[in-house]
Structure 1
Amino acid sequence: MMINLIKHFVLTEKSTKLVVNNQYTFDVDLRLTKTQIKGLIQELFNIKIIAINTHILPRKKKRVGTIQGYKTRYKRVIITVKSGQTIDFFPEPKKEESSIKAS
């Protein structure tokens, strides 16, 4: 399933500042190319992407007891969306109308 290739939305201080410029940050699977990422995100969120910037973060060591290893790697993507379009990650809950009417 293609949705599993997008790991999560990145919520850092820098990424929240980029939202003002219509730029959103995601962590995606390491094997995806820019064209695959563009098609996947456009289809998933129904938006028009202008530009994609990607980079692979350096490996980080992880230690559990005496065993030492590395964290799983991923690719970080910053996408620029066409002006006027947004991705709503935190939609407001719908207000339920009261089924009991005053008479």
Structure 2
Amino acid sequence: MEKLKNQLITGKSIRLLQQNQYTFHVDSKLTKTEMKDWIEQFFDVRVEGINSSRVVGKKRRNKVSFNSTSRKKMIARLRANYFIPLFIN
């Protein structure tokens, strides 16, 4: 899926894994229902809920001025007894 960019691995997202919640960077046009349907079909799990937020890019001033890109992230909460493998070798 082109709209799902990558799985986000940070300190907070690792703590959320203990509560069966998975964090993803997604395309800014993706809706919660599209994300829920895709996760359920691709990973064969049941999603209990989706939270989404936009991370606004910051304006930086150094030798060259530029704006960092804005992103959208979604946190998928799975039902009990379901999980998504993080790393598959």
Range of TM-score over shorter length: 0.7 to 0.9
Compute the TM-score of the two structures, normalised by the length of structure 1.
0.77
Larger CA Rg, structure 1 vs 2: 1
From the superposition, tell whether residues 65 and 36 of structure 1 become closer, same or farther in structure 2 (CA, over 3 Å): same
Q: Secondary structure, in 3 states, of the residue corresponding to 1:50?
A: strand
> How much does 1:58 deviate?
1.8
Superposition TM-score, scaled by structure 2 size: 0.87
Aligned-pair identity in percent equals 33
Range with greater deviation from structure 2 (36-45 or 12-21): 36-45
Bigger strand share = 2
**Counterpart for residue 36 of structure 2:** 38
Alignment correspondent of 1:74: 71
Equivalent residues, number: 89
Question: Counterpart amino acid of 2:21?
Answer: Q
Cα distance, 1:71–1:84 mapped onto 2, change above 3 Å: same
- Identify unmatched segments of 5+ residues in structure 2: none
> Aligned Cα RMSD in Å?
1.7
